[in-house]
Structure 1
Amino acid sequence: MKNTRIMAAALLIVGSGLTLAAAQAQQPGLRRTDLLQHDLSVPAREVDQVRVDFDPGAVSIKHSHPGEEVAYVLEGSLEYQLEGRSPVTLHAGETLFIPAGVAHVAKNVGSGSASELATYIVEKGVPLVVPVE
């Protein structure tokens, strides 16, 4: 029985990693650099910071996160389409708050590369990127 639980936990962990890897693999022209992951004083929550670099014309898959995201555009111009809202274009130095669970897409609409610093306040132990159909 103990071995069954250990195997189930291992499969869950591997499956979570594969979901994230699959989400990232489906995003040509994007590069994610994990910068920080740290527990918060709120139980079962953590903060993650990620730099996302977009090649010209690159578009993310439609996805959500298990918590809030604050996107800060470091360079270039990015268009964000949040489900149920009109698209918004941000330029270097501008920010956007994305509520927990809201499906969205980000696209580089500038002529060169673009980058964002994404800060997530999320549920600990849950995949950071959840693909949405």
Structure 2
Amino acid sequence: MKKHKNILASLLFTGVIGLGLAAIPNGVQAQQPGLKRVDLQRHDLSAPGWEAIQVRVDFGPGVVAPRHRHPGEEIIYVLRGSIEYQVEGKPPVTLKTGDVLFVPAGAIHSAKNVGRDEASELATYIVEKGKPLVEPVK
């Protein structure tokens, strides 16, 4: 029965799979190999219609989060490793443990673990409620 529930949950959330992300009840999301997203918290903001979402993203060596955008701002804090970010219209930047990056709403961007070991970031999103968190871009 549990297996059927997991399959059903995966099918219900195929609308957000663009980056390989499908919600699973425990907050861990299924995605492309070597990329793991764990939802940490989600809260309504005092501004009606907006919410804050925090996610830990773990990248295996050489793993890329392909081009995408969000319906609001993303604030990134690198927890460990070296991650190269490419924000459209700006030169690539490589951040290391303790570095931060601000990605404006709607900005197309990608990220790649350029180190030899696993890398992790804490991503905080300030987004409109009800919109998909991630929109893949070709």
State the TM-score, normalized to the length of structure 1. 0.85
SS of aligned partner of 2:16 = helix
- The AA in structure 1 aligned to 2:97 is A
* RMSD after superposition: 1.8
What pairs up with 1:51-130 in 2 under 5 angstroms?
51-130=56-135
Bigger Cα Rg: 1
- The AA in structure 2 aligned to 1:79 is E
- The AA in structure 2 aligned to 1:28 is P
For these two proteins, the number of residue pairs brought into alignment is 120
Distance 1:111 1:44 in 2: 41
> Do the aligned partners of residues 16 and 62 (structure 1) sit closer, same or farther apart at CA in structure 2, a change above 3 Å counting?
farther
SS of aligned partner of 1:60 = strand
1:11-69 deviation line (CA, Å, top 9, x unaligned): xxx99932323422563310000000100000100000000000000001110000000
User: Which ranges in structure 2 are unaligned for 5 or more consecutive residues?
Assistant: 1-9, 22-30
- The AA in structure 2 aligned to 1:97 is F
The reply to whether residue 47 of structure 1 matches residue 52 of structure 2 is: yes
Higher helix share: 1
State the TM-score, normalized to the length of structure 2. 0.82
> Do the aligned partners of residues 110 and 20 (structure 1) sit closer, same or farther apart at CA in structure 2, a change above 3 Å counting?
same
C-alpha contact 1:30 1:53 (8 A) present in aligned 2: yes
Distance 2:74 2:32 in 1: 19
Q: CA offset at residue 130 of structure 1?
A: 0.4
Report 1 or 2 for greater relative contact order, CA contacts < 8 Å, sequence distance ≥ 6.
1
Distance 1:78 1:97 in 2: 14
- The AA in structure 2 aligned to 1:19 is G
> Do the aligned partners of residues 16 and 43 (structure 1) sit closer, same or farther apart at CA in structure 2, a change above 3 Å counting?
farther
- The AA in structure 2 aligned to 1:74 is L
Distance 1:24 1:53 in 2: 14
